[in-house]
A = this chain, B = another copy of it.
Amino acid sequence: MKYLFGVDLGGTNTKIGLLSADGNILLNKSIKTNSEMGYDDCFNRIAEVIKKMNIEKKIDENDILGVGIGIPGPVLHQEVVSFLANFPWKKNLNVAKILGEKTGYRVKVDNDVNVITLGEIWQGSAKGYSNVIGMALGTGIGGGIVVDGKLVGGFQGAGGEIGHMTIIPNGKLCGCGKKGCFEAYVSATGIEREAESRLTVNKNNKLWDIISKKEGQKVEAKDVFDAAKLGDSFSLDIVDYITEYIAYGLSILLHVTNPEVVVIGGGVALAGDILFDGITKKIKKYSLLACIDDLQILPAKLGEKAGIIGAAALVVNR
């Protein structure tokens, strides 16, 4: 039996999993990332967990196929991390080499959303497909573009940086400093900004009823969907706005790589049918028939495990 490791390096926590070669998680553990203690310390602790898992499961070193690691930043050639936002680590860190030396195994590195997309192809919603776009709607928007079964990394590791493609010239200000980025509209943050802006002028709705009871009275994207599901017309109108922009942004991608499956994950995707039905209906308006014919737009399946499974998928991906 062969084994692999998947590591999901996050800003706060890092998850490490031992998997069988057919994708089952046999062991998993979460440790603090503690990036402020430096990369050397962090990778030492990851290597230590890997070593302990090997011992616990009495695995022969020769049966380990390798380690995959997903990272929140652009990655070059599945080796070098260009930079990690909010990590006090140096630029152009060769994580494949560093973690490879510390573990003794072959290590492959990629961007976290790229990795999640691979995971969904290996074990999730897009299982068995080779032309796929993964989209993570969270605090921001991330993308994973897979063509003929391979991730599109790009020249500078910025392939799939779809959250920052401009979709409205001179549109809403984005956290990156540009205007009109996709994620300024329909990331969780974008949705919350829109809802807050609308609540300023209208408090006679179920969304406000929900928010006003919360400490801090701060909107979360989920509240908008919850109120909409109660039939609140104010919130249904925001959902209409959300599905319109997701359909529009997604349609652009369909004309570039013409995928057969789109997998949407991240917190916003948990809204379920109310979101997916709207997107599926509205995308037609923006798309050539050849781009939506037989296209499947599916919710991600792997949830919390997506990071670990996706990272491990890097090892088995050709």
Residues of A within 8 A of B (CB): 74, 82, 131, 143, 145, 147-148, 150, 152-162, 164-169, 176, 178, 244, 248, 251-260, 285-288, 290-291, 293-295
- A158 touches which of B162, B178, B258 (Cβ 8 Å): B258
User: Could you pull out 11 A-B pairs where Cβ atoms are within 8 angstroms?
Assistant: A143-B256, A147-B150, A153-B258, A155-B294, A158-B254, A158-B290, A159-B256, A161-B291, A166-B286, A176-B288, A257-B257
For A143, the chain B residues whose CB sits under 8 A away are: 256
- A257 touches which of B154, B255, B285, B295 (Cβ 8 Å): B154
User: What would 20 more interface pairs be, CB under 8 Å, given A157-B258, A169-B248?
Assistant: A74-B290, A131-B155, A147-B152, A152-B258, A154-B259, A155-B260, A156-B290, A156-B293, A161-B288, A161-B291, A162-B256, A164-B255, A165-B254, A165-B256, A166-B251, A166-B252, A178-B286, A253-B256, A256-B256, A256-B257
A53 to chain B, nearest CB (A): 34
Asked if A154 meets B258 with Cβ closer than 8 Å, knowing A82-B290, A161-B291, A252-B252, the reply is yes
- Decide if B152 touches A257 in the complex (CB within 8 Å): yes
For A257, the chain B residues whose CB sits under 8 A away are: 145, 152, 154, 159, 256-257
- A161 touches which of B145, B158, B258 (Cβ 8 Å): B258
Interface of A (DSSP majority class): loop
For A74, the chain B residues whose CB sits under 8 A away are: 290
Chain B, residue nearest A288 (CB): B164
For A248, the chain B residues whose CB sits under 8 A away are: 166, 169
- Decide if A165 touches B252 in the complex (CB within 8 Å): yes
Measured between alpha carbons, how far is A235 from B124 in the docked complex, in Å? Answer: 54
Measured between alpha carbons, how far is A166 from B167 in the docked complex, in Å? Answer: 9
Chain B, residue nearest A253 (CB): B256
A301 to chain B, nearest CB (A): 20
For A285, the chain B residues whose CB sits under 8 A away are: 178
A307 to chain B, nearest CB (A): 22
- Decide if A255 touches B288 in the complex (CB within 8 Å): no
- Decide if B169 touches A154 in the complex (CB within 8 Å): no
Measured between alpha carbons, how far is A131 from B74 in the docked complex, in Å? Answer: 16
Measured between alpha carbons, how far is A74 from B289 in the docked complex, in Å? Answer: 12
Measured between alpha carbons, how far is A156 from B176 in the docked complex, in Å? Answer: 34
Chain B, residue nearest A164 (CB): B288
Chain B, residue nearest A182 (CB): B255
- Decide if B145 touches A148 in the complex (CB within 8 Å): no
For A253, the chain B residues whose CB sits under 8 A away are: 256
A247 to chain B, nearest CB (A): 10
- Decide if B82 touches A160 in the complex (CB within 8 Å): no
Measured between alpha carbons, how far is A260 from B74 in the docked complex, in Å? Answer: 15
